[in-house]
Amino acid sequence: MKTLLVTGGAGFIGSHVVRKMVLDHPEFHIINLDQLTYAGNLENLTDIQDAPNYRFIRGNIVDGTFLEKLFQEEEIHGVIHLAAESHVDRSIADPMSFINTNIVGTVNLLNACRNAWKDFEGKLFYHISTDEVYGSLGSSGLFTEDTAYDPRSPYSASKASSDHLVRAYHHTYGMPIVISNCSNNYGPNQFPEKLIPLAINNILQMKPIPIYGKGENVRDWLYVEDHATAIELIFRKGSNGRTYNIGGLNEWQNIDLIRLLCKIMDEKLERESGTSEGLITYVKDRAGHDLRYAIDSTRIAEELDWKPSLNFEEGLARTVTWYLENQEWMQRITSGVYQSYYDQQYRDR
């Protein structure tokens, strides 16, 4: 049985990837490595926590000594690297935490792989990144895998740096790697600091829904389970050294997205039409706010036969239903209950 290490596997995207790999690949032993910060939550994985091919380890990728020991103890054949600080607003307030986790942590992981993998045959380092490394688009055009990097925030700059380092280890040391850059993810289990779950939570509590500027910024939205499917495909079939862009083919202005969300919430909560939209509050724009992101997914479609399974209206309705059915999860994660529990129950190795 080959061992696959998934970093950040208790987070939003990571938990969906871990679940898919555990259920679809019983021939793999899946190790979920997560520090369990505010956005990491093992309740996301209760349905597979007792699976015979699954194991959780709490640890911090910034601790290089810890990683070296882990790779000595476990014969790890592949890595899917999702562990990252990912919220732009937090990166503006505290850039050093993003530099430490996203850059130093990635280098530590690369070094642990390089030291343990004396023979690269059958090994793979898969690095998950973001479309934000490409900068900002105007009203037309799409990001391709050949688009020049132009990061505009501490978050995107830290991810761009980690992308370059992964490619450098491929070219310098011959390490087998693949990289994917995705558009905005949404769906079940997302920590409610991001736009969609934040708006859902605020609507439930009849609180203002903050919208940056005039809400004209455009994002391409990717349902998280479609992203997990793409990751699994790239891990199995992606070409060594190749980069794949993963987009949802769903471009929406923020204000149009929120108006649609408000309409869905009013219907599901049986509120008078327009009730939720009345909560929209325009706030001062984010510093350096990129106007538009949009992904060209042609490469992964042609080479790996992947395409999104849901349009945005379907995915958003499914997402709203999940949050309405899991309001206690929302309350616990926003109250910090999980954080204190994990600190008591787990200790970093």
Which listed residue (134, 155, 223, 342) is catalytic?
155
pLDDT of residue 50: 97
Classify residue 10: in a domain, yes or no.
Answer: yes
What is the DSSP secondary structure assignment for residue 239, as one 8-state letter? P
Q: Which two tokens stand for residue 158?
A: 């830290």
Classify residue 298: in a domain, yes or no.
Answer: yes
| pLDDT tens string 22-38 | 999 999 999 999 999 98
Classify residue 36: in a domain, yes or no.
Answer: yes
- Place 1 in a pLDDT band, splitting at 50, 70 and 90: confident
Classify residue 49: in a domain, yes or no.
Answer: yes
Q: Find out whether 320 and 270 touch, Cβ atoms under 8 Å.
A: no
Domain membership of residue 12 as a residue range: 2-185+224-249+289-309+336-345
Return d(Cα 346, Cα 349) in angstroms, integer.
9
pLDDT of residue 349: 43
Which listed residue (34, 85, 132, 225) is catalytic?
132
Classify residue 160: in a domain, yes or no.
Answer: yes
User: Who has greater pLDDT, 335 or 216?
Assistant: 216
Which listed residue (34, 85, 131, 296) is catalytic?
131
Return d(Cα 26, Cα 51) in angstroms, integer.
9
CATH number at residue 33: 3.40.50.720
Instruction: Tell me the average pLDDT across 214-224.
Output: 95
Classify residue 208: in a domain, yes or no.
Answer: no
Return d(Cα 153, Cα 102) in angstroms, integer.
13
CA distances (Å), origin 204, targets 139, 150, 321, 333: 34, 38, 12, 15
97-101's contacts with Cβ under 8 Å and 24+ in sequence apart are 98/154, 98/155, 98/158, 99/154, 99/158, 100/62, 101/61, 101/62, 101/158
pTM: 0.94
The mean pLDDT value of the chain amounts to 94
Would you call 155 a catalytic residue per the annotation? yes
| Overall number of domains in the chain | 1
Would you call 132 a catalytic residue per the annotation? yes
Classify residue 320: in a domain, yes or no.
Answer: no
β-pair type (177-182, 280-283): unpaired
Would you call 313 a catalytic residue per the annotation? no
The DSSP code sequence of 160-193 is HHHHHHHHHHHHHH---EEEEEE-EEESTT--TT
Classify residue 14: in a domain, yes or no.
Answer: yes
E strand segments, 84-187? 124-130, 177-182, 184-186
